[in-house]
Amino acid sequence: MNKETRSYGSWPSKISVNDLVKDAVKLAFPKTVGEDLYWQETRPSEKGRSVIVKNGMDLLPNEYSARTRAQEYGGNPYLVVGDQVYFSNAKDQKLYCIKDGKVSPFTQLDKMRYADGVYNKKRELFYYVREDHNEKEVQNTIVCIDLKGEEKIVCSGADFYSNPRISPDGKYFTYLCWNHPNMPWDHVHLVLHEIKNDGLLQDGELIAGDDPESIFDPKFGPDGALYFVSDRSGYWNLYRFSDNKVLALHPEMAEFGLPAWIFGFSTYDFLMTEDGYDIICSYIQKGEGGLARLSLKDFSYTTFDIPHNSFNDIHVSGQKIYFTSGAPDRFSELVCLDARSHEFEVIKKSMETDSLDVFSVGQPVSFYNDDEDEVYGFFYPPVSAKYHGPDAERPPLIVKVHGGPTGMSANVLNMEIQFWTSRGFAYGLVNFGGSTGYGREYRERLTGKLGIVDVNDTCSFALHLVKEGLVDGDRTAIKGGSSGGYTTLAALAFRDVFQVGVSAYGISDLEILAKETHKFEERYTDGLIGPYPEMKKVYKERSPIHAVNKIKVPVLLLQGSDDKVVLPNQSEMIFEKLKEKGIPTKFVLFEGEGHGFRQAENIKQALLEEQKFYSEIFGLDDE
């Protein structure tokens, strides 16, 4: 088929904004009880409602949504105990119980948030991380809850708690805790207690975390040994604590853990064998993921050859391995893998591919910047079944900056990226210094240097693609959400690389962020910049709001009205400053949205606003 020549960025495309949300769902937290399979489904088409699904059937009536707002980012909102399901309800954050199709309240206290629950069958007690929002300063604890919903605090005194876990015999209890100014990827304590008969705890023992290390996903093995992930070697690797010793199970320059932004992440689980058990584990190496089996008998290590490269929510039941996963040519999906045959079944897809005749596949990119630091990312060239660009023309580029900033961009099929590449745009995902997936040293390149390393690496990434002749250096856009929005605004203020920027719920004033954000992140900038107010001058120097006079290009600002992480004033303030200077800018406030857009209509409008902005700035033909 002969393709029609048409200017890059102006190709007609079958992919519409409706394709981003039509029947789209976010899948997470698969669990099994007997032969029953449960998972969580978040649906933009239902205004971002999250439901619990059992064997493909919805459990929640329409008036309920299973979502916890603990630490604002939430995470695992439900727990299955026998034939009952306990969940955190989005509206009031109380715990509810579902049994025989009926929903009834379980907890009674107001202004509490619950996450990461476990059940002690031996003592008929639940244990939850709880946030108490009744006072000005949020109080984080672990509580035990009896079958009547009565609560007792069992752990207190630390700023934060996560991962309460109980040994198979119901005798021991472990958890993670940490204090300001640390984040869970900085320095965390792993504590082990013996449980008293009344469900309270004996004095605890510090198992790991005496020295600074990030500990992740502790859990007991079937024989009662305690396992966890730690980056004490420089990479998040697997360890076992037994007989009062900590043993490294498989030292590797790979990440078997993740930054714990939400509750309930699981990167490994236990597979029973004829003479014991093995570990099924996911890993990330140089930004690419895999799945492996680690023998605890001889410590042999084998990887699964399956067409996925991103693995989350590992859960094992019998010889079946459940996980959510994606790949460069596969949207995220819930998968069941047979541990013996290595055959897999897709249980549920997050999105269908009917509208994709062809699609752009991410190409790994790595290069050295001017400081001789290696930078990583992925490049998606424009692709169409019907069009190609003129020989003498290069495509416009959109560079997406992930949030966190301790996050990462994965190379999986993404409909938003295909929306742009099918129209003749090139698209880049940059994993700047500070990103996860490349070891602690790479992550700590950002320590004290937010607004410097992230900005320089992102700009270097775009300039590298220009130098390689892959994109048009006069038509480059930068976009990002949250801290990615900050990097977007900072790149526009402090560098002259991009011709347009799109900031979604981004930070414009670091000083105000340090004063106003929620408890979980109120000291995050201590590590990224330095302690406040001691380094107030640096906070101002790196804040785009104080460098608006240097911004010379158009800026689109997108913001949720109910954002408690980055308050709406961050976008409002810089919008007013840009208007005063006469810079083309637009501010769009989405009512009812928080930190990230969950509702279908708002997701579509945000993308349409972005498309219109690029078309006007780059002089592209409207479809």
pLDDT digit string (tens) for 138-189?
999 999 999 999 999 999 999 999 999 999 999 999 999 999 999 999 999 9
Instruction: Give the closest residue to 614 by CA, choosing from 481, 494, 457, 475.
Output: 475
Q: Within the chain, which residues score under 70 in pLDDT?
A: 1, 353-355, 622-623
For the domain made up of 357-618, the CATH class stated in words is alpha beta
User: Which two three-digit tokens encode residue 161?
Assistant: 């708690």
Helices (H), ranges, 344-477: 415-421, 440-443, 453-467
Is 609 exposed, middle or buried (CB count within 10 Å of its CB: 0-12, 13-18, 19+)? Answer: middle
- Residue 416 and residue 404 in contact, taking contact as beta carbons nearer than 8 Å: no
Strand partners, 255: 284
Cα 87 from Cα 264, distance rounded (Å): 13
Q: What is the mean pLDDT of the chain?
A: 95
The tokens describing 336, both together, are 């069941």
Contacts 24+ apart (CB under 8 A), 18-26: 18/604, 19/355, 19/415, 19/419, 20/415, 20/416, 20/419, 20/603, 20/604, 20/607, 21/45, 21/600, 21/603, 21/604, 23/351, 23/352, 24/350, 24/351, 24/415, 25/348, 25/350, 25/351, 26/332, 26/350
- List the beta bridge partners of residue 367: 375
- Per DSSP, what are the bridge partners of residue 500? 477
User: Measured between alpha carbons, how far is 603 from 585 in angstroms, rounded to an integer?
Assistant: 20
Residues whose CB falls within 8 Å of the CB of residue 211, separated by 6 or more in sequence, listed in order: 232
3-state secondary structure 228-268: EEECCCCCCEEEEEECCEEEECCCCCCECCCCCCCECCCCE
Nearest Cα residue to 311 out of 332, 328, 295: 332
Paired with 588 in beta bridges are: 558
Compute CA distances 86 → 37, 82, 118, whole Å: 15, 11, 10
pTM: 0.95
Contact 457, 497 (CB under 8 A): no
Matching CATH number, 18-349, of 3.40.50.10710, 2.30.30.100, 2.130.10.120, 3.40.190.10: 2.130.10.120
Contact criterion met (CB below 8 Å) for 585 and 614: no
In this structure, the strands spanning 205-208 and 112-120 are unpaired
Rounded to an integer, what distance in angstroms lies between the CA atom of residue 523 and that of residue 414? 33
Cα 16 to Cα 611: distance, rounded to the nearest angstrom: 11
Q: Sheet with 205-208: list strands edge to edge.
A: 160-166, 172-178, 189-194, 205-208
Phi, psi of 277 (to 5 degrees): -155, 155
Residue 495 has what pLDDT?
97
Q: Do the beta carbons of residue 158 and residue 175 sit within 8 Å?
A: no
Question: How many contiguous H segments (helices) and E segments (strands) does the chain have?
Answer: 10, 38
The CA–CA distances, whole Å, from 196 to 16, 165, 170, 200, 592 equal 58, 15, 10, 5, 45
- DSSP for residue 2: P
Q: Which distant-in-sequence residues (6+ apart) come within 8 Å of 458 by Cβ? A: 399, 401, 430, 432, 478, 487, 491
Dig out the tokens for 478 from the structure. 């930068």
Q: How far apart are CA 201 and CA 458, in angstroms?
A: 48
Q: Given this model, what pLDDT does residue 622 score?
A: 57
* 69/113 Cα distance (integer angstroms): 7
Of 429, 436, 435, the residue nearest 365 (C-alpha): 429
Single out the residue of 213, 222, 428 nearest to residue 316, CA to CA: 222
As a whole number of angstroms, the distance between CA 204 and CA 201 comes to: 8
What is the pairing mode between strands 476-481 and 426-431?
unpaired
Rounded Cα distance, 166 and 445, in Å: 36
Instruction: Give the tens place of pLDDT for each residue, 485-515.
Output: 999 999 999 999 999 999 999 999 999 999 9
Query: How many angstroms separate the Cα of 81 from the Cα of each of 9, 31, 385, 583?
Result: 52, 11, 50, 57
- Give the 3-state secondary structure of 71-93: CCCCECCEEEECCEEEEEECCCC
What one-character-per-residue DSSP string does 464-532 give?
HHHHTTSS-TTSEEEEEETHHHHHHHHHHHH----SEEEEES--S-HHHHHHHS-GGGTTHHHHHT--T
What's the pLDDT at 20?
A: 87
Q: How far is CA 561 from CA 227, 262, 517, 521, in A?
A: 41, 22, 15, 19
Say how many Å lie between the first and final Cα of the chain, rounded.
22
The distance of Cα 392 from the centroid of its chain, to the nearest Å, equals 39
How many residues can be counted in the chain?
623
Per-residue model confidence (pLDDT) at position 352? 78
